[in-house]
Chain A
């Protein structure tokens, strides 16, 4: 390979996804694998909802720093929480909010109930 050409790293994931998801023949079938409903936090590659170029057009370049997608990752990103971590954290927060909400609503149930005209 000439020195001025940088070969892609084999059939790398990013290159594959850029083609498979955004290019290729579309004939009258159903898109049954529901890309719109992809679980963003559990699917490792959120590129499944848009191509690299389109993602960058709208300012999304997180995949550059995702250790599961890139061979070289800056140390500041290598220790970043995973999607699973974020999801479980979100669940904990939601549970606490629910608990706070039910506690906060207690006076309403035991005290004055608003009338239909209020």
Chain B
């Protein structure tokens, strides 16, 4: 049997009676240095299933209903409560700082499509992506260069949109995290840590950004537990 970790919560919050996690095991608390770990006993750690992933997220959301937790990545187990406590104590000050940072906040996620900046750029990119096998070496190199330029242009556009979105939401966002441009899907995911009482303002700010900068809607999801903000911010 092992101890499965769901999230860390500031002291003083208990799982609701009857809350269960992986395998239907009851969720309990392991405390160390002012941080509570929400865990459950795991008897069979064999196979990862969708039900496991859903159960993990459900426990994190249950914690979120009380106070913003630091959600743990799926799949982490410890030999026993003592092993977990030792790990928590090793990072005690950092974890407390991160918990304080996310307190009262939620993660909002914007997924947007990075459209080419002009019709000309779009046409050029479509030509490069739909081109058949080039018949000569010169044609191959030209095609490779066109694709490289299209990707670079999309990356620049993504940077531009990120900066413009930041201008709109900076007043209500504590931190920002971004995934690399997905190519050729040309999607970018931006996550924001937003105070819970500012979520409505945040949504309006994103709306303003979309109206000004984009021709297509964005996918806005949240509020989530701050999965993207569990580590120290870079820089």
Contact = CB atoms under 8 A, between A and B. Distances in A.
Q: Is the interface of B mostly helix, strand, loop or mixed?
A: mixed
Given A32-B75, A53-B189, A27 B88 contact: yes
Contacts of B135: none
Contact of B77 (A3, A29, A57): A29
Interface in B152-194: 179-180, 182-183, 185, 187, 189
B180 to A, nearest CB: 8
Interface residues of B, number: 62
A24 B220 contact: no
Given A27-B76, A32-B75, A4 B218 contact: yes
Nearest to A51: B179
Interface residues of A, number: 40
B121 interface: no
A2 B204 contact: yes
Interface stretch (A5-13, A70-78, A86-94, A107-115): A5-13
B69 to A, nearest CB: 9
B74 A38 contact: no
B217 A16 contact: no
A35 B82 CA distance: 25
A22 B95 CA distance: 19
A61 B46 CA distance: 27
Interface stretch (B12-20, B137-145, B226-234): B226-234
B230 A23 contact: yes
B197 to A, nearest CB: 18
For A13, A23, A28, A34, the residue with the greatest tally of chain B CB atoms inside 10 Å of its CB is: A23
A57 to B, nearest CB: 6
B182 A35 contact: no
Nearest to A7: B220
Contacts of B45: 32-34
B221 interface: yes
Interface in A11-25: 11, 13, 15-17, 19-25
Contacts, number: 152
B73 A20 contact: yes
A71 to B, nearest CB: 14
A30 interface: yes
B76 A30 contact: yes
Contact of B75 (A13, A31, A43): A31
B229 to A, nearest CB: 9
A6 B231 CA distance: 29
Interface of B: 2, 5, 7-8, 42, 45-50, 52-54, 56-57, 61, 70-79, 83-84, 87-88, 90-91, 95, 98, 109, 179-180, 182-183, 185, 187, 189, 203-204, 206-207, 210-211, 214, 217-222, 224-225, 227-228, 230-231
Given A27-B72, A32-B45, 8 more contacts: A2-B207, A8-B219, A19-B227, A23-B228, A29-B5, A29-B84, A31-B75, A34-B45
